[in-house]
A and B are shown apart, each in its own frame.
Chain A
């Protein structure tokens, strides 16, 4: 991603300074490596080194753990603590309540651009912080019954997927998802999860392998065909792939069903039905919008995601593929989405949940798979999964 030569130049400067910065702050980085070859955690260390090289007194870290494994998060916290000990001030911005509780000396909560309150970890709890963030009680854990898996809905066999530059991003993945269960795919972002989801939904060609949905081979299916096979897709990037921001809510609610009865008869669209259905769904899913004719761009992130959920969950679906369904959402919306997903599962839908947020996987999934460098490291049932085990798998360390 970064221009390799540009950062090479920076490396050279560090070399000249004899790497003492690196040792001084305990940030180990191989100065001869190209940035693109470093792990994300190491890349982050380079970023921190860059800033320290300029003699920074203050470090602002904005969601720094988003792309780190649990072990790398620990490493980062060690670095932060040592920097603090040397007198560097640090602003640590994060939505992950547990981390904030672990690392901060003081915690300030913002909501709607205003400071809601400042407290210390000793005097508060994740639940209290959540209440400050949202303004009401928030249930942080998901209450769910044990799963009752039924027939196999999604069968993936030896899947190989290439990216746009013909590099292999998914190499030989096989798994199954049954009706009434949630299979969570954990892993640091960039290990092939995006390409996997694109391949399953028909948005990316499959180089090798087979995908079967309810017995139908969908390996070479078009996105429409996949959708018509009873698949719902909550895309990773809701503003780019899930919604048309310049369209009204009503149109977005029929984005993939506009051509089907009762919304259309032949080539004509029946506006009255579209509007009636939109009104009903806005109410059912509690979407906060001035009207169904409001443009989607005016909605908050949480409500935008609710539009997508409303659209997908009111279709006759057997398989739900949800990719980072709560990315960038406030705690209240996260709670809502999680409840709806579990509801779907309990109604007999098979759910494939892809998320780099370990907590989300741990709280929702019945079985958990970890993806690393395009392969599935292991699939664990929920009872056996711990953050440590998953963290190791996410870093590519197999047990035994």
Chain B
């Protein structure tokens, strides 16, 4: 049985597999967007009143609906790509006068996609890593805040270190804090069998209150006399560098996120630790029978998952805000659940899904300001995305697909673990 024909056969089916793997997420996202259009229309009173007179004036009803959708998706487009007219103008200016400022302003919306995608990559990797071990980490949001707090603290309290030491140290501090935070839930699961869904959720609330306390107390800028719950700014040696002129916020965190994604891929698929974690997630009983230490892997997987989520928080502190403030995360942790599922629990899929989600959320911000569509639409889209990915048969029926779309990913776990 020679190896080369086998590998080339494996390669051919790999492209096929990639195409197959992409079919479900793409179609799920499309369908979810279509479904959420219903919400956009259904909550617009102009559209509702127009439709109530549908039979007397169908044209007007459809026009109103069309306009509402065009407004919404137009705003989305501008949020994602920027104003095309403006971009053309500024590019022309740049070639004429070398003015980078205008160029930066024009490309700002597009760059924001990557800025928003950065924490999504980390958080998505976190949840996906948990999924690989059969663990449902819905505590990513709290872990993000804990990581941000730790990073901010190390960021502003240590001075005089060169950037090459201070920045990685700050980042690491955030990651360790997250590892500890999620590790609590992992420990409880490993030793007491307590389900991580409840514990990570509870830890979320504990984290939120903890941050509230820190920002109104020990970490408040200006001490007790400070007026707003925000921390001191971190020292410049803890910044993640940016590359483009203001107002573009694109920072090195995106590169770090991509590197971390590669690291996670290597860890999961090329190391003994990753093999153990994946086996525990795929079949707990067989793993046990094969001698794998289940408790150790639960704790490790949760800790790594928490560290990854916390990196999202650390990245935001070091690259974007340069301090810790309440509410800096518009739900990165919760969104990443849908993200991880869309990405099929694979680091590459997570990166792609994160880019998508970053783009979506970035565009939705513009939808909120231009078309008055609340940004929570993103959550509605996500819910549908998860549903379609989790029940591939719905997409199959809807689009009359013959091939097998999607695959199994996460296993059943009852409350006893």
Within 8 A of A (CB), among B247-289: 270-273, 275-276, 278-279, 282-283, 285-289
Task: Select which of B1, B270, B272, B286 is within 8 A of A255 by beta carbon.
Answer: B286
Q: Which residue of A lies closest to B275 (CB)?
A: A258
**Pairwise interchain contact A267-B273, C-beta atoms closer than 8 A:** yes
Give A265's nearest chain B residue, CB to CB. Answer: B272
Given contacts A224-B292, A241-B286, A244-B283, A291 and B270 within 8 Å (CB-CB) = no
Q: In the complex the two chains form, what is the Cα distance from A237 to B272 in whole Å?
A: 25
Given A224-B291, A293-B10, are A242 and B286 also a contact pair (CB < 8 Å)? Answer: yes
Q: How far does the Cβ of A178 sit from chain B's closest Cβ, in whole Å?
A: 25
A309 at the interface (CB under 8 A from B): no
A256 within 8 A of B: yes
Q: How many A residues touch the partner, as a band?
A: 35 or more
Residue of B nearest to A255 (CB): B290
Q: Is A245 a contact partner of B283 (Cβ separation < 8 A)?
A: yes
Most buried by B among A242, A244, A279: A244
| Contacting residue for B9 out of A203, A267, A291, CB 8 A | A291
- Is A246 touching B408 in the complex (CB atoms < 8 A)? yes
Interface residues of A in 239-261 (CB under 8 A from B): 240-247, 251, 255-256, 258-259
Q: What would 28 A/B residue contacts be, using CB atoms closer than 8 Å? A: A201-B289, A222-B291, A223-B289, A223-B290, A227-B290, A227-B291, A228-B291, A240-B285, A241-B286, A244-B279, A246-B282, A246-B408, A247-B278, A251-B275, A255-B290, A256-B290, A258-B275, A259-B272, A267-B271, A267-B273, A268-B270, A269-B271, A269-B275, A271-B270, A279-B3, A291-B6, A291-B9, A293-B6
Residues of B in contact with A (beta carbons under 8 Å apart): 1, 3, 6, 9-10, 270-273, 275-276, 278-279, 282-283, 285-293, 408
In the bound complex, do residue B289 and residue A233 qualify as a contact, i.e. CB atoms below 8 Å apart? yes
Main secondary structure of the interface of B (DSSP, over half): helix
4 more A-B contacts (CB under 8 A) besides A240-B286, A268-B272, A291-B10? A224-B291, A233-B289, A241-B289, A244-B283
**Contacts A227-B291, A279-B1 given; does A240 touch B283 at CB 8 Å:** yes
User: B292: shortest Cβ distance to chain A, in Å?
Assistant: 7
Where the two chains meet, the residues of A that have a C-beta atom closer than 8 Å to any C-beta of B are 201, 203, 222-228, 233, 235, 237, 240-247, 251, 255-256, 258-259, 264, 267-269, 271, 275-276, 279, 282-283, 291-293
Q: Which 5 A-B pairs have the closest CB atoms?
A: A224-B291, A256-B290, A241-B289, A244-B283, A255-B290
State how many angstroms separate the Cβ of A299 from the closest Cβ of chain B: 15
Name, among B270, B283, B291, the residue most crowded by chain A CB atoms within 10 Å (CB to CB): B291
Residue of A nearest to B408 (CB): A246
Query: Are B286 and A243 touching (Cβ within 8 A)?
Result: yes
Bound-complex Cα distance A279 to B4 (A): 12
Shortest beta-carbon distance from A195 to chain B in Å: 15
**Min CB distance, B327 to chain A, in Å?**
39
Which residue of B3, B270, B278, B293 is within 8 Å of A222 (Cβ)? B293
> Chain A contacts of B1 at CB under 8 A?
279, 282-283
Question: In the assembled complex, which residues on chain B have CB atoms less than 8 Å from the CB atom of A255?
Answer: 279, 286, 290
- List chain A residues, Cβ under 8 A from B282: 244, 246-247
Residue pair B291, A264 in contact (C-beta under 8 Å)? no
Which residues of chain A have C-beta atoms less than 8 A from B286's C-beta? 240-244, 255
Q: Do residues A267 and B272 form an inter-chain contact, with CB atoms below 8 A?
A: yes
Does A203 contact B283, Cβ atoms closer than 8 Å? Answer: no
- Give Cα A222–Cα B289 distance, bound, in whole angstroms: 10
Contact of B272 among A243, A269, A279, A292 (CB under 8 A): A269
